[in-house]
Amino acid sequence: MAAPPRFEAEREAIAALLQVLGLAGVRIQLDQPRRVGAAAEWEPAGRTIRIRPDVLQSGSAEFAKVLNHEAIHVAQSCSRGHVRAMPKPLGLNQTLSPHLEAVLEEALYRSAGALERQLEREAYANQHQLGLGVQLVRSHCRLART
């Protein structure tokens, strides 16, 4: 109680992610994802990340993780040459905790194909590394000059 968490790292990560995603031409909307049950989604054709508004209410740590997860998907798209491209795996670590393994077994992913599951596995396995999304977008996407 005397020293509550300040979430400085998370706030800095959010600011850096918002900046680099903007430079990549990505729009971020606080809106219901089209995919039922998703906290957020990346839509390459529209260059849009949609994040459920209640994710913001979950706090800085959760919002940073979700935004970082979607930034990894953006980099997966850019690795094919353009932000609007269909994503492909980047070759990142795909080791998941038991909790995240269980997430991939939920109804949201039950009908997903092998490629989509691999893309999600890669994003889930690395979403906690808050600097990684920025690094991947910078290295795989064409960024506007500042």
pLDDT tens across the length of the chain (146 residues): 566 667 899 999 999 999 999 999 999 999 999 999 999 999 999 999 999 999 999 999 999 999 999 999 999 999 999 999 999 999 999 999 999 999 999 999 989 999 999 999 999 999 999 999 999 999 999 999 86
Per-residue pLDDT, 146:
64
Residue at 29: amino acid letter: Q
Q: Does residue 52 sit in helix, strand or coil?
A: coil
Per-residue pLDDT, 1:
58
Instruction: Give the distance, in angstroms, between the CA of residue 36 and the centroid of all CA atoms in the same chain.
Output: 17
Per-residue pLDDT, 20:
98
In this structure, the number of other CB atoms found within 10 A of the CB of residue 20 comes to 21
Per-residue pLDDT, 3:
63
This prediction has a pTM of 0.94
Inter-residue contact 35 to 41 (CB < 8 Å): yes
* Residue 63 tokens, joined: 């919002």
Could you give the CA distance from residue 81 to residue 84 in angstroms, rounded to a whole number? 9
Give residue for tokens 């906290």: 39
Q: Angle CA(76)–CA(28)–CA(116) in degrees, nearest 5? A: 30
Give residue for tokens 């690094």: 135
In this structure, the number of other CB atoms found within 10 A of the CB of residue 65 comes to 21
